[in-house]
Structure 1
Amino acid sequence: MTQWRLLRGDVLVGELSEYGCDQPFFLARFTPGPGWESVRALFEAWAALKGPDPDGSRTVAVVKPLQDLELRLAPVDGQQPPLQVFKNCVLRINGSAARLRY
């Protein structure tokens, strides 16, 4: 399974290790890095979003600040190009669990 580095610029936010699949998401273990604390509250807000959101406004309110961070996922093996989070993939992190769709 793929291993990823979650980066904000050159700062390591954390690492993801895929271990399974729950279509359409890949399941991963998340290990925080030095940059995690600066983005943790935004990911917690995204993880806490539950229930209907008919017009998508609640989702936009929590995802837009994450998009603005311009986070990217870089594969550890370098075999494929990095993914821009919320442009090329969707990433949810809740504690040590992550769900990735790309």
Structure 2
Amino acid sequence: MIGELSEYGCDQPFFLARFSAGPGWESVRALFEASAALRGPDPDGSRTAAVLKPLQDLKLRLVPVDSQQPSLQVLKNCMLRIDGAEARLRY
């Protein structure tokens, strides 16, 4: 488990959440930090793809605590950006 998300609001099309790091966070921290640092134009998408591909290859999943919703694969079924203690989720 890399951490927990606690939803607190919405900024369409994203859900806003607080992020609490878990025991697996340090192993993926650099990948999420690189993703959060993406800014500016990327006309052909190559810069974005180079940053997101290693994160996508991990096949991380969001698993709801209540178990009533299916899990979502990060960067396949949803977009997740973690920047420090803040997260943005779109699915």
Counterpart of 1:7 in structure 2 is none
Root-mean-square deviation over aligned CA pairs: 0.4
- Whole-Å Cα distance in 2 between the matches of residues 40 and 13 of structure 1? 9
The structure carrying a bigger strand percent of its residues is: 1
Deviation at 1:50, TM superposition (A): 0.4
CA distance in structure 1 between the aligned counterparts of 2:89 and 2:51, rounded to whole angstroms: 17
Secondary structure in 2 aligned to 1:77? Answer: coil
Query: Which residue of structure 2 lines up, in the alignment, with residue 31 of structure 1?
Result: 20
* Residues 51-62 of structure 1 mapped to structure 2, 5 A cutoff: 51-62=40-51
Which residue of the partner structure matches residue 20 of structure 1? 9
Percent identical: 81
Match for residue 34 of structure 2? 45
Counting matched residue pairs gives 91
Counterparts of 1:49 and 1:101, CA distance in 2:
17
- The amino acid of 1:69's aligned partner reads L
Provide the secondary structure at the position in 1 that maps to 2:89: strand
In structure 1, the residue corresponding to 2:16 is in which secondary structure?
A: strand
Given the alignment of the two structures, is residue 100 of structure 1 paired with residue 89 of structure 2, yes or no?
Answer: yes
Once residues 19 and 58 of structure 1 are traced to their aligned partners in structure 2, the CA distance between those partners, rounded to angstroms, is 31
Please report how far the alpha carbon of residue 14 of structure 1 lies from its aligned counterpart in structure 2 after TM superposition: 0.3
Scaled by the length of structure 1, what TM-score is found?
A: 0.88
TM-score, length of structure 2 as denominator length: 0.99
Q: How does 1:61-76 map to 2 (within 5 A)?
A: 61-76=50-65
CA distance in 2 between partners of 1:14 and 1:58 (Å): 26
Q: Which runs of 4+ in 1 moved over 6 A?
A: none
SS in 2 for 1:88: coil
> Can you give the 5+ residue segments of structure 1 that lack an aligned partner in the other structure?
1-11
